[in-house]
Amino acid sequence: MKRDAVAPGGVGGDPFDEFVAARYHALLRGAFLITGDLHDARDLLHDALTRVYPKRFAIRDPQAAEGYVRTAMVRTHVSRWRRTRREVLTSELPDAPQDPADAGDERLAEALRALPKRQRAAVVLRYYVDLPVARVAEELGCSLPTAKTHLARAVKALRQELAGERELVAHGH
């Protein structure tokens, strides 16, 4: 049977397809945290999967597939950002949170969305995906000091943005 052939019953034995089925929601959550919008996250994830899929047989270690997809997501997102270099701002809030995992902390999601795209991507890769800083730099396509700068600025901005809420919690309001 050819590599691309589908076995009887409609299911191919392609490890990449199995990986996507198993990790789709986690990848979508990462894409959402990078983009800040569910529709953009879906587009980003699907674009990344489209880029990685033709090269799936070159991935020797099945455990590395997620890294390839994450890298494709970050690079695709940065590429889009470089092309547009603008964000569409609105004064209206969405009717409901757009978080695909209903993680709950909408305030944190708002604070993440307020970050510049590269800082947001760095924070997601470092603290959500739990990658070491060197790997964050690699996935962002920048130097280690630049990745550290993105992370430091992002964490500082998040602390400032969320400081008021910490005071409310500490004072029992």
Low-confidence ranges of the chain (pLDDT < 50): 1-10, 99-104, 168-171, 173
DSSP secondary-structure letter at 124?
I
- Whether 48 and 76 have beta carbons less than 8 Å apart is answered as yes
Question: What is residue 85's predicted lDDT score, i.e. its pLDDT?
Answer: 58
Of the candidates 26, 20, 4, the one whose C-alpha atom is nearest the C-alpha of residue 100 is 26
Q: What local confidence, expressed as pLDDT, does residue 5 receive?
A: 41
Per-residue pLDDT, 13: 73
pLDDT given at position 162: 81
pLDDT at position 99, please? 46
Q: Where are the domains of the chain?
A: 15-170
d(C-alpha 112, C-alpha 33), whole Å: 7
Angle between helices 133-140 and 65-84 (to 10 degrees): 50
In angstroms, the CA 62 to CA 34 distance is 24
pLDDT at 164: 65
What is the reported pLDDT for 105? Answer: 64
Closest alpha carbon to 157 in 93, 118, 111: 111
Note the pLDDT tens digit of each residue in 97-124: 554 444 336 778 888 888 998 999 999 8
Domain 15-170 CATH assignment equals 1.10.10.10:
yes
- Sign of the torsion formed by the C-alpha atoms of 89, 93, 96 and 101: positive
pLDDT at 156: 92
